[in-house]
Amino acid sequence: MAASPVEVDPVTVVLESHRNTPGALLPILHEIQDALGYIPRDAVVRVADAMNLSRAEVHGVVTYYHDFRSEPPARHVVQVCRAEACQSVGAEALIGQVRERLGCAKQERSADGRYSVEPVYCLGLCASGPSLMIDERLHARMTQEKFEQLASRMEKES
Protein backbone atom coordinates (compact mmCIF):
# COMPACT_ATOMS: atom_id res chain seq x y z
CA MET A 1 0.00 0.00 0.00
CA ALA A 2 1.42 3.36 -1.05
CA ALA A 3 1.95 5.98 1.61
CA SER A 4 -0.33 8.99 1.35
CA PRO A 5 1.46 12.18 0.37
CA VAL A 6 2.48 14.30 3.32
CA GLU A 7 1.28 17.86 3.19
CA VAL A 8 4.22 20.24 3.39
CA ASP A 9 3.80 23.44 5.35
CA PRO A 10 5.20 26.29 3.20
CA VAL A 11 6.25 28.34 6.23
CA THR A 12 8.33 25.44 7.53
CA VAL A 13 9.95 25.00 4.11
CA VAL A 14 10.84 28.70 3.88
CA LEU A 15 12.20 28.86 7.43
CA GLU A 16 14.27 25.72 6.89
CA SER A 17 15.75 27.05 3.66
CA HIS A 18 16.97 30.19 5.47
CA ARG A 19 17.98 28.53 8.74
CA ASN A 20 21.61 29.54 8.36
CA THR A 21 21.04 32.90 6.69
CA PRO A 22 21.27 35.74 9.19
CA GLY A 23 19.25 38.85 8.39
CA ALA A 24 17.02 37.08 5.88
CA LEU A 25 13.79 38.56 7.20
CA LEU A 26 12.68 40.23 3.96
CA PRO A 27 13.42 37.21 1.70
CA ILE A 28 11.60 34.96 4.19
CA LEU A 29 8.53 37.20 4.23
CA HIS A 30 8.52 37.47 0.43
CA GLU A 31 8.73 33.70 0.04
CA ILE A 32 5.91 33.11 2.53
CA GLN A 33 3.72 35.61 0.71
CA ASP A 34 4.59 34.04 -2.65
CA ALA A 35 3.53 30.66 -1.28
CA LEU A 36 0.38 31.69 0.60
CA GLY A 37 -0.64 35.01 -0.95
CA TYR A 38 -0.23 36.79 2.39
CA ILE A 39 1.59 36.64 5.74
CA PRO A 40 -0.71 34.94 8.25
CA ARG A 41 -0.54 35.97 11.90
CA ASP A 42 0.81 32.60 12.99
CA ALA A 43 3.59 32.92 10.40
CA VAL A 44 4.63 36.22 12.01
CA VAL A 45 5.01 34.38 15.31
CA ARG A 46 7.00 31.55 13.75
CA VAL A 47 9.27 33.89 11.79
CA ALA A 48 9.92 35.95 14.92
CA ASP A 49 10.86 32.83 16.88
CA ALA A 50 13.09 31.51 14.09
CA MET A 51 14.86 34.85 13.58
CA ASN A 52 15.15 35.61 17.30
CA LEU A 53 13.14 38.80 16.82
CA SER A 54 10.11 40.10 18.65
CA ARG A 55 6.69 39.61 17.11
CA ALA A 56 6.30 43.38 17.07
CA GLU A 57 9.46 43.73 14.97
CA VAL A 58 8.26 41.25 12.36
CA HIS A 59 4.74 42.69 12.40
CA GLY A 60 6.25 46.16 11.97
CA VAL A 61 8.08 45.06 8.82
CA VAL A 62 4.97 43.39 7.40
CA THR A 63 2.86 46.48 7.92
CA TYR A 64 5.57 48.95 6.83
CA TYR A 65 6.03 47.56 3.32
CA HIS A 66 3.10 47.94 0.91
CA ASP A 67 4.15 44.70 -0.78
CA PHE A 68 3.12 42.56 2.19
CA ARG A 69 -0.45 41.58 3.01
CA SER A 70 -1.72 40.50 6.40
CA GLU A 71 -4.97 39.14 4.96
CA PRO A 72 -5.65 36.75 2.07
CA PRO A 73 -5.73 38.63 -1.26
CA ALA A 74 -8.98 39.55 -2.95
CA ARG A 75 -10.10 37.52 -5.95
CA HIS A 76 -8.69 40.27 -8.19
CA VAL A 77 -5.80 42.46 -7.08
CA VAL A 78 -5.34 45.73 -9.00
CA GLN A 79 -2.09 47.56 -8.34
CA VAL A 80 -1.88 51.09 -9.69
CA CYS A 81 1.47 52.82 -10.02
CA ARG A 82 1.68 56.12 -8.18
CA ALA A 83 5.33 56.86 -8.81
CA GLU A 84 6.47 60.08 -10.43
CA ALA A 85 6.50 59.14 -14.12
CA CYS A 86 2.99 57.71 -13.95
CA GLN A 87 1.79 60.62 -11.83
CA SER A 88 2.90 62.99 -14.57
CA VAL A 89 0.59 61.28 -17.05
CA GLY A 90 -2.55 60.94 -14.97
CA ALA A 91 -2.05 58.18 -12.39
CA GLU A 92 -4.00 60.04 -9.69
CA ALA A 93 -7.08 60.33 -11.87
CA LEU A 94 -6.67 56.71 -12.91
CA ILE A 95 -6.51 55.35 -9.37
CA GLY A 96 -9.62 57.35 -8.48
CA GLN A 97 -11.47 55.88 -11.42
CA VAL A 98 -10.26 52.34 -10.65
CA ARG A 99 -11.30 52.62 -7.00
CA GLU A 100 -14.71 53.99 -7.88
CA ARG A 101 -15.35 51.37 -10.57
CA LEU A 102 -14.42 48.43 -8.33
CA GLY A 103 -16.21 49.61 -5.20
CA CYS A 104 -13.00 50.49 -3.37
CA ALA A 105 -13.48 54.26 -3.11
CA LYS A 106 -13.38 54.34 0.69
CA GLN A 107 -11.28 51.28 1.48
CA GLU A 108 -8.64 49.11 -0.13
CA ARG A 109 -10.97 46.14 -0.60
CA SER A 110 -14.48 46.06 -2.05
CA ALA A 111 -17.30 45.13 0.33
CA ASP A 112 -17.85 41.83 -1.47
CA GLY A 113 -14.16 40.96 -1.15
CA ARG A 114 -13.73 40.44 -4.89
CA TYR A 115 -11.42 43.36 -5.59
CA SER A 116 -8.62 45.21 -3.93
CA VAL A 117 -6.90 48.31 -5.24
CA GLU A 118 -3.37 48.85 -4.01
CA PRO A 119 -0.93 51.68 -4.74
CA VAL A 120 2.53 50.62 -5.88
CA TYR A 121 5.61 52.66 -6.61
CA CYS A 122 6.88 51.71 -10.07
CA LEU A 123 6.01 48.69 -12.14
CA GLY A 124 8.93 49.13 -14.53
CA LEU A 125 6.83 50.63 -17.33
CA CYS A 126 7.72 54.24 -16.62
CA ALA A 127 7.86 55.32 -20.27
CA SER A 128 4.42 53.84 -20.93
CA GLY A 129 2.31 55.14 -18.07
CA PRO A 130 -0.01 55.32 -16.50
CA SER A 131 0.61 51.69 -15.61
CA LEU A 132 -1.22 49.14 -13.54
CA MET A 133 -1.12 45.45 -12.84
CA ILE A 134 -4.12 43.17 -12.52
CA ASP A 135 -3.53 39.75 -10.98
CA GLU A 136 0.19 39.87 -11.83
CA ARG A 137 -0.43 41.01 -15.42
CA LEU A 138 0.99 44.38 -16.47
CA HIS A 139 -0.99 46.95 -18.45
CA ALA A 140 0.61 50.09 -19.90
CA ARG A 141 -0.79 53.37 -21.26
CA MET A 142 -3.97 52.83 -19.30
CA THR A 143 -6.99 54.90 -20.18
CA GLN A 144 -10.48 55.08 -18.73
CA GLU A 145 -11.83 53.17 -21.72
CA LYS A 146 -9.20 50.43 -21.51
CA PHE A 147 -9.77 50.00 -17.79
CA GLU A 148 -13.51 49.74 -18.30
CA GLN A 149 -12.93 46.81 -20.67
CA LEU A 150 -10.64 45.12 -18.14
CA ALA A 151 -13.15 45.68 -15.34
CA SER A 152 -15.94 44.14 -17.42
CA ARG A 153 -13.73 41.13 -18.10
CA MET A 154 -13.03 40.69 -14.36
CA GLU A 155 -16.76 40.85 -13.62
CA LYS A 156 -17.42 38.01 -16.06
CA GLU A 157 -14.64 35.87 -14.60
CA SER A 158 -15.96 35.77 -11.06
Q: Which residues bind ligand FES (CB under 6 A)?
A: 81, 83, 85-86, 122-126, 129, 131
In whole angstroms, how close is the CB of 123 to ligand FES at the nearest point?
4
Query: Coil, helix or strand for 60?
Result: helix
Looking at beta carbons only, is 36 or 138 nearer to ligand FES? 138
Least distance from ligand FES to the Cβ atom of residue 133, Å = 9
Nearest to 75 by CA among 133, 114, 117: 114
- CB 90 to ligand FES: min, Å: 11
Find, among 25, 22, 51, 53, the residue nearest to 39 by Cα: 25
Nearer to ligand FES, 53 or 89 (CB): 89
Instruction: Indicate the residue among 50 and 129 with the shorter CB distance to ligand FES.
Output: 129
Helices and strands per DSSP (H, E), number in the chain:
7, 4
Cβ 117 vs Cβ 101: under 8 Å: no
